Amino acid sequence: MYLAKIKVTYKPSVLDPQGEVIKSALHRLDYETVEQVVQGKYFEVKLTASDLEDAKQLIESMAEALLINQNTETYDYTVEEVEG
Amino acid sequence: MYLAKIKVTYKPSVLDPQGEVIKSALHRLDYETVEQVVQGKYFEVKLTASDLEDAKQLIESMAEALLINQNTETYDYTVEEVEG
């Protein structure tokens, strides 16, 4: 069994309105030292695969097929073998 | 300057309907070996702080004040010093 942890964020060139909203909310709560906030999506996917390489390929394929919008988002991930 | 990376997911006891929806979508796309999907939020927060300990305390305080719903969500984070 493999566990992938996938972080999805907007590409740097894409405006992140949600991040701006959160930054101003944090400033209103007196967290003045916050300079920048980025909000994205986080996925954990448990899957079986023949080996680590196969798990990686499956994850990259799933990410690009469903989990991210390739026009506006970018992602990075880790995959590790787990029990169960 | 410090950069915090915060992963927010539902507590294990809380149903994750979005994760179930994504799992069935992945199965329909022939990713049969997917056993479980968890979807959460991901934040990156850049902030200034007097030192690493101060940055950690600020992040924990912000997370609990705004970034997570303490009834249904749990989070983990990393903080590192960065340039700029």
At residue B40, the pLDDT reads 96
Residues of A in contact with B75 (CB under 8 A): none
Please answer whether residues A43 and A68 qualify as being in contact, where contact means their C-beta atoms are separated by less than 8 angstroms: no
Q: Report residue B75's pLDDT band, with 50, 70 and 90 as the boundaries.
A: very high
**What's the start-to-end Cα distance of chain B, in Å?**
6
Smallest Cα–Cα separation from B59: which of B40, B41, B80, B73?
Answer: B80
Three-class DSSP labels, chain A: CEEEEEEEEECCCCCCHHHHHHHHHHHHCCCCCEEEEEEEEEEEEEECCCCHHHHHHHHHHHHHHHHCCCCCEEEEEEEEECCC
Question: Is residue B84 scored above 90 in pLDDT?
Answer: no
Nearest of B58, B59, B57 to residue B77 by alpha carbon: B59
pLDDT-based confidence at residue B38 (cuts at 50, 70, 90): very high
Residue B15 has pLDDT above 90, yes or no: no
- Facing B39 at nearest CB: one of A25, A37, A43: A43
ipTM given for this complex: 0.90
- What pLDDT is recorded for position A84? 73
| pLDDT > 90 fraction of chain B, expressed in percent and rounded | 92
Asked if A44 and B9 come within 8 Å (Cβ–Cβ), the reply is yes
User: Does any CB of chain A come closer than 8 Å to the CB of residue B74?
Assistant: no
Nearest CA to CA, how far is A59 from chain B (Å)?
Answer: 10
Residue with tokens 């997370």: B63
A54-74, pLDDT tens digit by residue?
999 999 999 999 999 999 999
Q: Which domains does chain B have, with CATH numbers?
A: 2-81 (3.30.1280.10)
Pick the residue from chain B with its C-alpha nearest to A41. B41
- Phi-psi bin for A66: left (phi > 0), alpha (psi -120 to 50), beta? alpha
Tell me which residue in B40, B44, B65 faces A38 most closely, judged by beta carbons: B44
